[in-house]
Structure 1
């Protein structure tokens, strides 16, 4: 089985690049480099879904669009007013026509927030649910995986608890074995194209990467200074697609 390729993107150009390379999915988010990713605006989602419709109209296979649902940077312990926003955003993504959502939530003690997860899965209804890298901070990822399976989560994105997925191969292999197909395991986190063969050998269902490059852009004191931003790099995406194909 060939692992699926998922590209984290932030705009329609990123979607086009992912489609040209034959990626199976995109994860649509905002502020990827600066924050680790936040919920994209309704306008951004609408334009990317429009690009998906255009690609389908040409007769080519269009990557699925999965929307990151995350209200803020920082930890994954959400208070009730934040949980309300997460649930509303899941419904917005579903009603807009997204193929899936990417969610997560932990308790104050760092375990999967099962009541919140149940609400998020229910809000998603019939679209796919990915649990994001919040799992990389839990003490017992195998027990967390059981909870995700019980909640009806489709897949989990994980680096195996390491900063880079290539350094978390032992835990990734354990997660693949423990899942036994109940939850898809997607390796992600600092992935480079040259890492992909070693990751796919573990039996993961998918590999996720941003495949991005930095753009220098000084916004001044009101625009974050010279922090700049990132864009999808077509050469990196093409190299990742080639690595997936082996």
Structure 2
């Protein structure tokens, strides 16, 4: 993830320089892609900064991260982001709530992204027991898990392989 700090998704010149250095290092390391997100002060996609970062990323795949969840008009933002061929995913909970609380919004984003190169990557608050119903209702094809796949649901605990396998099996059961 290319993110110079956790204060916000609005970046100044120093932040952008740091991000460019990080992207350079990541590219030189042979990574297939990066995760990033840029916003303006009024919570819209900062296309000026985004274009600078995408140029540095070259041919790497790009996931636009949960900065997307701070944008009021996500459908407009989806159209803006779809103009950049490198961006092939948006990691989102479809707004400020958890993905499980934003089922209808997620479904609408999946539908809106259908004729773009962007896949909606659902994340935040997903659980293995609720995954099948969530996928069935929203149509998402990819999910992102955090603590739900870790022992006792704690970020600092080890990942439990059986939970990963269970989630993967659920997603695979929806592949067409």
Bin of the TM-score, shorter chain as denominator length: 0.7 to 0.9
Residue 234 of structure 1: aligned partner:
161
1:101–1:129 Cα contact (<8 Å) kept? yes
Residue 88 of structure 2: aligned partner:
154
Residue 125 of structure 2: aligned partner:
190
Aligned alpha-carbon RMSD (Å)? 1.9
Identify the structure with the greater helix proportion.
2
Give the Cα–Cα distance (whole angstroms) in 2 for the partners of residues 163 and 176 of structure 1: 17
Give the Cα–Cα distance (whole angstroms) in 2 for the partners of residues 171 and 148 of structure 1: 18
- The alpha-carbon deviation at position 86 of structure 1 amounts to 1.1
Change (3 A) 1:106 1:178: same
- The alpha-carbon deviation at position 171 of structure 1 amounts to 0.9
Give the Cα–Cα distance (whole angstroms) in 1 for the partners of residues 54 and 48 of structure 2: 10
- The alpha-carbon deviation at position 155 of structure 1 amounts to 0.9
Give the Cα–Cα distance (whole angstroms) in 2 for the partners of residues 144 and 74 of structure 1: 21
Change (3 A) 1:74 1:213: farther
User: How many equivalent pairs are there?
Assistant: 168
* TM-score relative to the length of structure 1: 0.63
Gaps of 5+ in 1: 1-67, 217-227
Give the Cα–Cα distance (whole angstroms) in 2 for the partners of residues 163 and 139 of structure 1: 13
1:187–1:199 Cα contact (<8 Å) kept? no
Identify the structure with the greater strand proportion.
1
Residue 163 of structure 1: aligned partner:
97
* TM-score relative to the length of structure 2: 0.87
Change (3 A) 1:126 1:168: same
Gaps of 5+ in 2: none
Give the Cα–Cα distance (whole angstroms) in 2 for the partners of residues 231 and 133 of structure 1: 24
Matches within 5 A, 1:79-228: 79-152=12-85, 153-182=87-116, 183-201=118-136, 202-210=138-146, 211-213=149-151
2:132–2:171 Cα contact (<8 Å) kept? yes
Give the Cα–Cα distance (whole angstroms) in 2 for the partners of residues 173 and 97 of structure 1: 34
1:90–1:124 Cα contact (<8 Å) kept? yes
Give the Cα–Cα distance (whole angstroms) in 1 for the partners of residues 92 and 54 of structure 2: 19
2:43–2:70 Cα contact (<8 Å) kept? yes
- The alpha-carbon deviation at position 163 of structure 1 amounts to 3.0
